[in-house]
Amino acid sequence: MSNQDHNLSTVVNTSMGSYPVIVGRGVIDNLGVELRKTGQRGRAFLIADEVMFANPVRRAHEALERGGFKTDVLALELGEFNKNLDTVNTVYKWLAELHAERNDIVVAMGGGVTGDLVGYAAATWLRGVAVVHVPTSLAAMVDSSIGGKTGVNMPNGKNLLGAFHQPKLIVQDIEHLKTLPAREMSAGWAEAIKHGLILDSNLLDKFESMAQQMKTLDGDEPIKAIRRSVAIKGQIVSSDEFETGDQRVLLNYGHTVGHAIETVTGYETFLHGEAVAIGMMAAAGIAQRIGLINSELVDRQKSILESYNLPTTATNLNADAIISATKSDKKSRGGTIRWVLLEGPGKATTRKDIPDDVVLDSVQSILS
């Protein structure tokens, strides 16, 4: 097995075709070669978050050129504050000026906002051009880059404009994580730990026993854990591409209360992964109160999250406001919330029959 094959984490199968996810150290240098393997031709349009250090962007540019792709680069300031149509229009104008065509490729390099916005631009430019993701944050690696969800915000809500647009390739270079702030790394681990909690008890065991090694990215174990987390997300996307069944919704464990906390705090207090960690504690409280799990698993989840420096409670928030915000949750059907709940380590289910008093008690329990 070649080193490049060894770095293959998973192949995601979708109605738009299959695509590989490459995870490893230094794999950015193989970007052009891997893209050529997918059968893509044409020019490459590399759009990077300008907070990326010049060296990784230069390496990506050079790798694309080595693969035979004439490449242009656009650096943009990207964040939730400008994840909107104005920024998408900036991308459109750049693509228009350079005469980007249907057979060309857009490459998104940055965190989750970059992938969402650039992915949306690719999905809508000329009714859709190929996109490649080079996620540089842990949250984007294990979660948002996989699955084809793209989106931008409107003044009255997050991700109200969007499209499913599957990439042709995802390349995840672990070296990019070395420059991430510790808080952002922790927020990314929340999504990976979630995968262990809902689907893989062995992965959960590793997160529990190797927290220090994971956090410092030392050795092979963190890469293996990230690859496994990526494979779990890829496996679910392959089985439930458009979130119409019961599989993909499991990925929203912790997100009902997590999104509500983000909403009531105006997205200014918690990073997404931090809010999800608190949301997972609320969901665990619900599962315990209705007899799905015991207090031991609740305590274990809390301990694991805290070992990655994640919050498990929130202060100065109103329980009624949080519960009200959950009513607009995207997993709702006919006004009834579909709660994603644990049945055991590595095992999750959905329930719609949760009494209001159980929800209230559980939400109050995470408000210290």
**Positions marked active-site:** 127, 149, 191, 233, 243, 248, 252, 255, 259, 272
Pairing of strands 71-76, 347-351: unpaired
Which token pair is 207?
């997160």
> Would you say 261 and 278 are in contact if contact means Cβ atoms under 8 Å apart?
yes
Distance CA 357, CA 365 (A): 12
Q: Which of 68, 172, 63, 71 is nearest to 115 (CA)?
A: 172
d(CA 320, CA 332): 18
Q: Residue 53 carries which side chain, given as an amino acid letter? A: F
CB contact burial 200-210 (16+ within 10 A = b; e otherwise): beebbebbbeb
Cα–Cα distance, 173 to 233 (Å, whole number): 18
Tokens 């315990």, residue located: 288
Tokens of 173: 């270079």
Do residues 151 and 118 touch, judged by C-beta distance below 8 A? Answer: no
Residue 316, classified by CB atoms within 10 Å of its CB into exposed (0-12), middle (13-18) or buried (19+), is exposed
What is the 8-class DSSP label of residue 333? B
